Amino acid sequence: MTTPTPDGNCAKLLHDVAVELKTLEQARERYSPQLAPDFSIFDYVDTSELGLSRILGLVQSQRKTWPKRSVSALFYRKMPTEPR
Query: Is residue 13 predicted with pLDDT exceeding 60?
Result: yes
pTM of the model: 0.36
**pLDDT tens per residue across span 40-64:** 787 888 888 888 888 877 776 666 6
Mean pLDDT estimate for the chain: 76
- Check if the beta carbon of residue 1 is closer than 8 Å to that of residue 14: no
Query: Is residue 19 predicted with pLDDT exceeding 80?
Result: yes
Instruction: Give, in degrees to the nearest 5, the angle at Cα 45 between 39 and 49.
Output: 140
| Predicted pLDDT of residue 55 | 81
Write the DSSP assignment of 30-52 as a string of letters: HHTTT--TT--GGGTS--SHHHH
**pLDDT tens per residue across span 20-34:** 999 999 988 888 878
Q: What is the mean pLDDT of residues 30-39?
A: 77
